[in-house]
Every structure is written in C-alpha cells, then in structure tokens.
Amino acid sequence: MAAACVLLGVTLLAVSGCAPGRPVGPNGQVARLGAALSLTGPARLFGAAQRSGIRLAQDEINQSHMLGNTRLDVLIEDDGSDRAHASAVFQGFVENSQVVAIMGPTLSDTALSVDPVAQQAGVPVLAISNAASGITQIGNSIFRDCLTESQLAPQIVKLVRSRLKIHNAALLHSDTDPNRTGSHAFKKALEDLGVHIGIEQVFAPDQTDFSAQLDEIAASHPDALFITAPAHSAAPILVQARQHGLTNVPIIGSSTFNSDTVLRSAGDAAEGLIVGSAWSAANPSARNQQFIQSYHARYGVDPDQFAAQAYTGVFILATALRDAGSMSDPRAERDALERLKTLETPLGMFSFDAARDAAYAPSVQIVRHGRFQLL
C-alpha cells in the first residue's frame, strides 16, 4: 500500500516516505463521499457535531491539495434518526449520487438496518459513531473508526474497580440490540473481575421517565451504576438518577455519554460521570491539539467525540482515495481502506484490524467541574 499521509494545519506530513501533494487525477476532478447524519430527530445534536467535523476536514483537505488536483465533496443528508429515512438516503447515495464511500448513519440501531444496502451495492461504509457489536460483521465493505463497547468496557471496569473499590454493581440499559450488547460487555467485564451485579434494570427505547428503574436501583444500594443508553437518553437518565437517591453513587456510562452535549444538558448531574473514551481533548498529541484549535477557531466551541470521529473519518477515506489509484471506484476504495495502517489522527495512531474495526488505544475520562478529564 502507498504510505498514509496526514494533515497538520495546512501542511502534509510524510509518514513512512509518503510523497505529499501527489496529483491523483485530472484538473477539475471531484471525489464524492456521502454522509448520512442525524440532523433531525432524537440524535440531532450529535449529528450536528458530526457535520461540523466533516465540513472542517473537507475544507482542510481541499485547501492543502491533499488529493492533488482532485476536490473532495462530501454530500451530507439527514438520516432523521430513523431507519426508513436512512434507508432512503443510502439508496440515493448508491443509486444516484455516485459516491465512492458513505459515512454514518449516526445511530447504531439505524446502521444495523441500512448498512446492508451499501454492502449489497459494493459501496464501502465507514461507521463514525456506531459502537454496537455486529456492525462490521454485516459484510466486507463495512468499516468503523469508533471503538466498540466491547473494546472499551474491560478497560473502564478494570480502572473503576481499582480506583473506587467497587464490589456491588447495578446495570441499566435500553431494550434494544445495540444497548443490550453494550450492557453485556459491562456485565462480562464485571464478572471477569469478580464484581457482584446486584440488580439489572431495562428501559424502553422511547422511554423518558426512568423513575421506576432508578428507584429499584437506589434501593439495592450499589457501589456504582453502569448505564448503556442511546444518545438522546443519556442526559435525562443522569438528571433523574441524581433525583432518585443516587446522588453520591458513581455512574459509568457507555460511549454515548462521552459528549459535551450530554454534559451541557445534564449540568451538575453529570459531575463525576465516568466514560470510556474513544477520543479525549486531553490527549496532548500535536495532531489532536491542532484539530481542537481549528475546530474552536471555526465554530467557537470545543469539539466532542462525535465531531472528532467524523473529522477523522474524512481523513481516513481521503487517505484511502490517495492509495486507491481512483477517485471514483468504490471497490478500489474498499481495498485501500483494508490496507490502511498507522495513520496519525486526533483519535490516536489509527489502523483497522482484521475485522475492519478501529484499532487504537482507548482512555477513560471523568467529569470534573463540568469538563472531561483523564481518570
């Protein structure tokens, strides 16, 4: 494979001898990517952060001429936080838009439904926020740059057990496949370390009042509460947990809790929240700090994990375009993605493993004074 290049500011840095600025197409050529994001519906705030990350990456790539004379164009469509809506968007991408790859959709539950559309058409998909199990097993055209709950859970539980000396845990999760698998990852990690699970409670995916489940959990007096929830439920659960007797109980959330949007919505209820982190603003690498500075300069706010994964996704797909030898062949793009190794990104030194899942080091964060810090 051609060596991977990364963008730092507007200068391309060579990795393993990559030649920066190499022309890869005729003048005026356009390489099109599709992005299905939740710009409306329950996950709209997370989709908005993803859109911002994508637009920033697209503009940096074009301004730096990373693809030579080829301009990158990311077509962003609203998936509506909905399977049927997302299915129509995916069909439009593969049938009418001539995209070489697709990013999204925002939600794992939606991805499990619509990724087969792209797989059948031979168009690669890069999941930028789908941490549920089973995503890449859909087929050999499905990749992801976010870490799975099963990758994050063992590290979270090991550190939390060591730091907080927990012996009795409670579990709370949504009754959907993505959240059940995340809860199973927590459960296995707890059991492997000999932590007793005193109570497990389940809630419906459209539920907004969690009083019954939280009252049962509070009555069991757990040392810690582990929650796996969809993005739109994260902040309400935190607020209600503090209102129902869990004021001083450590709460450990799934990856959907790792968002400034959740912190802003939950306010003081998020203080002390612990999450496994696929991205951290505290990562001091030059590539990560450059991304944070550029994002803040453009949008006036700091990025979150959703923005970072989306931004990184554009660079991953652009790097594969450079290596594919084609700006328009989805199958060549898929093959180049499979070969991608050691790309420097805001997430860390990135590679895909043999299952096309992300392979890079995770971290664990805690909320102190309204901000995420490394635990």
Domain residue limits, the chain: 6-147+283-359, 149-277
pLDDT band at residue 361 using 50, 70 and 90 as cut-offs: confident
Query: Would you state the pLDDT for residue 262?
Result: 92
CA 317/CA 338 separation, integer angstroms: 11
Q: What is the pLDDT of residues 236-252, one digit of tens each?
A: 999 999 999 999 999 99
Bigger pLDDT: 1 vs 107? 107
CA 44/CA 35 separation, integer angstroms: 14
Domains 6-147+283-359 and 149-277 equal at CATH topology level? yes
CA 374/CA 37 separation, integer angstroms: 29
Q: What is the pLDDT of residues 75-101, one digit of tens each?
A: 999 999 999 999 999 999 999 889 999
Handedness of CA 268, 271, 275, 280 (dihedral sign): positive
Tell me if residue 127 falls in helix, strand or coil.
Answer: strand
Which of the 8 DSSP states describes residue 268? G
Q: Which two tokens stand for residue 129?
A: 């926020």
Average pLDDT for 255-266 = 89
Q: Which two tokens stand for residue 105?
A: 């959709």
Check pLDDT > 70 for residue 304: yes
Average pLDDT for 64-68 = 96
CA 57/CA 263 separation, integer angstroms: 25
CATH topology of domain 149-277: Rossmann fold (3.40.50)
Q: In what order do the strands lie in the sheet with 348-352?
A: 343-345, 348-352, 358-359
CA 232/CA 106 separation, integer angstroms: 12
pLDDT band at residue 179 using 50, 70 and 90 as cut-offs: low
pTM, full prediction: 0.81
Average pLDDT for 16-31 = 49
DSSP string, 224-260: EEEEE--HHHHHHHHHHHHHTT-TTS-EEE-GGG-SH
CATH topology of domain 6-147+283-359: Rossmann fold (3.40.50)
CA 105/CA 177 separation, integer angstroms: 16
User: What is the chain's mean pLDDT, rounded?
Assistant: 90
Q: Which of 23-27, 34-38, 309-313 has the lowest mean pLDDT?
A: 23-27
Average pLDDT for 268-287 = 93
